[in-house]
Chains A and B, each alone.
Chain A
Amino acid sequence: MYQYDDIDRAMVKDRVAEFRRQVDRRIAGDVTEDEFKPMRLMNGLYLQLHAYMLRVAIPYGTLSSDQLRVLASIARDYDKDYGHVSTRQNMQFNWPKLIDTPDILDRLADAEMHAIQTSGNCIRNTTTDPFAGAAAGEVEDPRITCEIIRQWSTFHPEFSFLPRKFKIAVSATKEDRAAIAVHDIGLQMVRNAAGDPGFQVLVGGGQGRSPYIAEEIREFLPYAELLSYLEAILRVYNVHGRRDNIYKARIKILVNEMGVEDFRAAVEREFDAFRTMGPAGSLDLPEAERARIAHYFAPPAFDRLPLESEVFEKAKANDPRFAAWARFNLHPHKVPGYASATISLKPNDAPPGDISSDQMDALAAIADQYGFSDVRTTHEQNMVLPHLKLDDLYTVWQDLDAAGIGSANAGLISDIIACPGLDYCNLANTRSIPVANRIQRRFADPARQAQIGELKIKISGCINACGHHHVGHIGILGVDKKGEEFYQLTLGGSADEDAAIGEIVGRGLSTDDVVNAVERVVDQYLILRSDPDERFIDTYRRLGAEPFKEALYDQAA
């Protein structure tokens, strides 16, 4: 993974010193809260319902075991002994004090981490495939591009006071595990006919109150020209994006109001202007610098192993709980004899995405012993050990299970994305986590979950859609009706390479009814599916919303 040099280290240290002084000025009354707010937000510090909340950046979801231990120590020393993995692959602490924050940021900086631009109207953490570097079929490890973007976007002098926040995601495989179509910019790495690497560029996707699937504005952007093209997009957005209405300030609204053709023309005009400036004015990285960054993402020293592992097969045969974990939580690795494992942070009856300090330490130890000290966070609020030997998996799982992070439910109905909701969040209308827990309880039987197969439920406690409900196979949106919590169902959403916004079905349901409604939809799917391998989303795409609506209304009537 990327390692800081003296310049990177100076950058985060200078940032901490700057923020320490900003906090002092706020306390001394030298800046108003209105002025201070964007300063703290651009250092990841929110003020939520009960406390401040610090969002630590985990750039493109990659961290070392040592960094994970530092996060554990922060949770222990400054918070309540747990962290929360967010849908931007970051980690949030829910209880820090303002006066402790500079010290927390200092500790992060010592471990080559930061909370820079994890909030605010600036370019946020670039996200990618949690299996980056391990998945088969990559054009290149997407984290090279992500790190290039991280450095380019950090303290960008022109783009730190944008109309609104700005999110970029990168995918390097045909299968999209980074939800690029619902980002402000989605970058799909591809090769052109000549075999040269580059990007298909999507723009204007997003969720929130106006969900959009991103549109292509460039079929093929040469690899080396990425930054000048991004700069062109961001400039058009900075100049033309709406600043009169916070709900219309995202780039998706601009693209929609200008029309994608005009937006493209404006970007290309800017891009051409950069090109005519020649190498001296180029915003793009020289090849040597690209190679320097790429070097850090060279694959670890994999052993030459047979494709199959006897130890692994035997353990599966002897231990059904392990067999279930191996069935659902493993992802194929590009190197024979290895696999990537999803560490589910979705045990029943716990907030989705939470992980305790002890669990972080346990995971770090496992990563050190078996996984090249490499840990990932996922936008689905889980973690990943990307490089494990098949031979080691049984031991790894036993260690995970002992730490309470061995749940065998990745991708299943209990692997729910939920925003923090009204239990924490200042913007929420309703709670999300208790709904997730009730659904988990209803479907607690592992055999039933296995029978249902892949089904992604995503829950948001308000229209800002931090729980990604628009792209849930079953999406649940909390709405407030005169102070009571109600929940609206959407069906058929998807965040993968066939991205779609779910369709709203039916009226708002009470807290009790929503779990029943989910169950009716699931039961209907089990009746309708053509065979046990047809996933919920496939059945929905084949038949549409109607038969599911019927199931909802029949029973509700």
Chain B
Amino acid sequence: MTKLLKLSDGTLIDAPTDDVLDVAHDQDLMTAAPALDGVRVVRLAFPKFRDGRAFSQARVLRTRYGFQGEIRASGDLLPDQAAFARRVGIDTVEGINEKRLEDFRFALDAFRYAYQPAEDGAPAHRLRSNTP
């Protein structure tokens, strides 16, 4: 059974058997939404870890289309990209190399703060007091 890494807490879970909507890494979600009605899981692809298009796709799904379901990443996502993935609204990563589980978990906790508003946590400026 396929395992999923949950980016919220770094646990490894069995993938539910729901239907999944696959969105290709080169699909332009900015101009047209995928058919999201009744979809619980959208799966985004990282054909190579250097290909960062899915980061934008996740962001658009969350902010533009208000998608509330699970966004799952598949393919060649490095542990070191896990926090970015979580920040853009990706919930789970499919098929990770379990030898790298600790590296994923480290990456998820590596940074205490972030500068940008995103799908998780408050940006730095919201935490700052307004007087220098």
Write the residues of chain A forming the contact surface with B, with a CB cutoff of 8 angstroms: 3, 5, 7-8, 10-11, 14-15, 17-18, 21-22, 25, 30-31, 35, 38-39, 121, 151-152, 154-162, 235-236, 238-240, 243, 266, 269-270, 273, 277, 281-283, 285-286, 288-289, 291-292, 295-296
Kindly state the separation between the CA atoms of A239 and B55 in the bound complex, as whole angstroms.
9
Query: Closest Cβ of chain A: how far from B113's Cβ, in Å?
Result: 5
20 contacts between A and B (CB under 8 A): A7-B124, A7-B127, A14-B111, A21-B106, A30-B99, A38-B49, A39-B80, A152-B115, A155-B115, A157-B114, A161-B49, A235-B59, A236-B30, A238-B55, A238-B56, A239-B30, A239-B53, A273-B64, A281-B117, A283-B116
Instruction: Give chain B interface residues in 50-86, CB to chain A under 8 Å.
Output: 50-53, 55-57, 59-60, 63-64, 78, 80-81, 83-85
Kindly state the separation between the CA atoms of A152 and B116 in the bound complex, as whole angstroms.
6
Which among B30, B83, B99 is the interface contact of A269 at CB below 8 angstroms?
B30
Query: Closest Cβ of chain A: how far from B28's Cβ, in Å?
Result: 6
Which among A158, A281, A288, A289 is the interface contact of B52 at CB below 8 angstroms?
A158
Query: Closest Cβ of chain A: how far from B91's Cβ, in Å?
Result: 14
- CB of B88 within 8 A of CB of A296, answer no
Which among A10, A35, A161, A277 is the interface contact of B55 at CB below 8 angstroms?
A161
Residues of chain A within 8 A (CB-CB) of B81 are: 161
Interface footprint category on B: 35 or more
Kindly state the separation between the CA atoms of A7 and B114 in the bound complex, as whole angstroms.
9
Residues of chain B within 8 A (CB-CB) of A14 are: 110-112
Residues of chain A within 8 A (CB-CB) of B55 are: 157-161, 238
CB nearest to B64 among chain A residues: A273
Residues of chain B within 8 A (CB-CB) of A35 are: 49, 78
Having A5-B128, A238-B53, one finds 20 other A-B pairs with CB under 8 Å, namely: A5-B132, A7-B128, A10-B112, A11-B112, A11-B113, A18-B111, A30-B103, A35-B78, A39-B80, A152-B116, A155-B115, A157-B87, A157-B114, A158-B59, A161-B49, A235-B30, A236-B30, A239-B30, A243-B51, A281-B117
- CB of A292 within 8 A of CB of B117, answer no
| With A7-B128, A157-B83 as contacts: A238 and B52 at CB distance below 8 Å | yes
Kindly state the separation between the CA atoms of A295 and B99 in the bound complex, as whole angstroms.
48
| With A161-B49, A286-B125 as contacts: A295 and B132 at CB distance below 8 Å | yes
Kindly state the separation between the CA atoms of A155 and B99 in the bound complex, as whole angstroms.
26
- CB of A292 within 8 A of CB of B131, answer yes
Residues of chain A within 8 A (CB-CB) of B23 are: none
Q: Check if B118 is an interface residue, CB within 8 A of chain A.
A: yes
CB nearest to A14 among chain B residues: B111
Kindly state the separation between the CA atoms of A11 and B131 in the bound complex, as whole angstroms.
20
Kindly state the separation between the CA atoms of A414 and B106 in the bound complex, as whole angstroms.
51
Residues of chain A within 8 A (CB-CB) of B124 are: 7-8, 11, 151
- CB of A288 within 8 A of CB of B130, answer yes
| With A157-B87, A157-B118, A240-B28 as contacts: A18 and B110 at CB distance below 8 Å | yes
- CB of A161 within 8 A of CB of B80, answer no
| With A121-B50, A283-B116 as contacts: A25 and B103 at CB distance below 8 Å | yes
Residues of chain A within 8 A (CB-CB) of B84 are: 155, 157-158, 160
- CB of B52 within 8 A of CB of A155, answer no
- CB of B63 within 8 A of CB of A277, answer yes
Query: Closest Cβ of chain A: how far from B81's Cβ, in Å?
Result: 7
Kindly state the separation between the CA atoms of A18 and B52 in the bound complex, as whole angstroms.
20
Kindly state the separation between the CA atoms of A80 and B67 in the bound complex, as whole angstroms.
54
* Max chain A C-beta neighbours (<10 A), residue from B29, B83, B132: B132
CB nearest to B60 among chain A residues: A235
Kindly state the separation between the CA atoms of A66 and B112 in the bound complex, as whole angstroms.
27
Residues of chain B within 8 A (CB-CB) of A158 are: 52, 55-56, 59, 84, 88
Which among B52, B59, B111, B132 is the interface contact of A160 at CB below 8 angstroms?
B52
Query: Closest Cβ of chain B: how far from A93's Cβ, in Å?
Result: 24
CB nearest to A296 among chain B residues: B132
Query: Closest Cβ of chain B: how far from A22's Cβ, in Å?
Result: 7
Query: Closest Cβ of chain A: how far from B131's Cβ, in Å?
Result: 7
Instruction: Give chain B interface residues in 21-64, CB to chain A under 8 Å.
Output: 28-31, 49-53, 55-57, 59-60, 63-64
CB nearest to A236 among chain B residues: B30
